[in-house]
Amino acid sequence: MENVLKGLKPEGVFKYFEEISYIPRCSGDEKRISDYLVEFAKKNGLDYTQEDCLNVIIRKPASKGYENAPTVILQGHMDMVCEKNDDVQHNFCKDPLKLVVDGDMIKADGTTLGADNGIAVAYCLALLADETLQHPAIEAFFTIDEERGMTGVMNLNPEDVKGSILINLDSEEEGEFCVSCAGGVNSIVEIKAEYTDVDSKFDGFYKVKIRGLKGGHSGGEIHKGRGNSNKIIGRVLNAFDFDFVLADIKGGAKSNAIPREAEALIGIKNEDKSKLEEAIKQLDSTLKAELSVTDSAVRIELEATEIPSKIFSNDVKNSVIALLTIIINGVQTMSMSIEDLVESSTSLGVVKIENDVIKFVCALRSSVDSLKQYMVTQIAKAAELVGANFRTKSDYPGWEYKEASEIRDLCAKVFEEMYGKQPKIMAIHAGLECGFLKEKLGDIDMISFGPDTFDVHTPDEHVSISSVKRTYEYLLEVLKNIK
């Protein structure tokens, strides 16, 4: 281990954060990090459970004087979104993250950092290992696969967790306490990729690439109006007023991230090359103007390439362009009861070809279940219009606001005492595991908070060192006050 974070405070938190940064832990590949947590528990003489699905619960008894306090569940997820820049050589299945300290920020070199939600894991491990702290009995609950589909929390055995208070550590803005979150579902539209031979009259083939977008979390940043590369590539293809064929289409990598890049492989008649170049130039200028505030670096690139062995049929080409155009995307409704809260949204996160099937994967979120179901219906109708198949996956519930909450009141009181100001009590449009935990564990008292983390789910992800320190000290003070 390189000890890049050595000397940063609090030492325990950054020691464990660096350790887990060297363990590959993409969603669906959590065996190594799960086993690491088990070994940690054994090394520190702590009781633990490793569930069949690889969730881990580590238990620490109450410190002296806290034996009669309610048990507190500290909860976060061990997996991370694995995204990298195109020019970065990194194998997420085996390579450690390359951490970089830049002033008050920690980031990774060209990849996601995994502070979402590695900071929660590091907080818990530091707390579990420290025998000098005052706290009630602790159940540190680490889930798998939160980013991809929340299957870890879905498969939790409720008998493994006994606490009555839950502090979720998967929030990203210091001083903001989340007390409610949206539910969501993934919708998947599928077209059979029918192919045909390349017509000899189409003798010029090009990759049309969308690059330079910021992307971001499809829940937490959907309101910022950032460009969606999948929608943009559909817009580009739809704007061509000359004959062309389509041989490939792809964009985005994760359904819960606003896609930053997309590309299409098209074929044209060489005589139409100037038309193609002029169309790209005009569209590039239009996009730069439209996205000048949110995505000023957006660009359309054109790259000549070899003639492929096959192309999509004309019907498939038209269906692809139609779906990219008509599938709803972005903010759909705003809450009328909570100021500035996105109520419902969709994000066309992934377009890919698997086993000769073109898939369009959308992440739908809403704090109102009926609106979530209506968005499902809208996308299903879009699929029906082009004769495509439609299904849903990873449906998860929301977390409704609780009128009376002792942990919320205590957290607000401690925050005001420490910092001389009131925290922001809020609902978020992103999904948290708290909805499933409510279903699994009953009417437990819950809250979510965390340090300042920026540009999560993108290679620009970074976390504030000073905010990590303050939030950890705050967490310890909250635990100290639960008696």
Query: What positions carry a catalytic annotation?
Result: 79, 146
Q: Report H helices in 163-249.
A: 229-239
CB distance 107 to 455 below 8 Å: no
Tell which residue, 248, 417, 254, has the closest CA to residue 349. 254
Is residue 47 within 8 A of residue 59, CB to CB? The reply is yes
Q: Cα–Cα–Cα angle for 144, 345, 351, nearest 5°?
A: 70
d(CA 415, CA 360): 44
- Tell me how far apart the alpha carbons of residues 39 and 456 are, in angstroms, rounded to a whole number: 28
Select from 31, 50, 75 the least CA-distant residue to 440. 75
Length of the chain equals: 483
What's the rounded Cα separation, in Å, for the pair 4 and 10? 14
Tokens of 310: 């096959």
> Residue 20 gets which letter from DSSP?
H
Torsion of CA 470, 476, 481, 482, to 10 degrees: 130
The CA-atom distances, in angstroms, between 258 and each of 122, 186, 245, 361, 419 are 27, 14, 27, 12, 35
Task: Tell me which residue has tokens 């179901």.
Answer: 373
Q: What sign does the dihedral 418-62-45-411 (CA atoms) show? A: negative
Q: 């034996």: which residue's tokens?
A: 67
**DSSP secondary structure of 90-123:** --TTTPPP-EEEETTEEEESSB---HHHHHHHHH
Q: Spell out where 212-275 has E strands.
A: 216-217, 244-251, 257-258, 262-268
Are 293 and 241 in contact by the 8 Å Cβ rule? The answer is no
The whole-angstrom separation of Cα 280 and Cα 301 is 8
Q: What is the C-alpha to C-alpha distance for residues 452 and 434, in angstroms, rounded to an integer?
A: 20
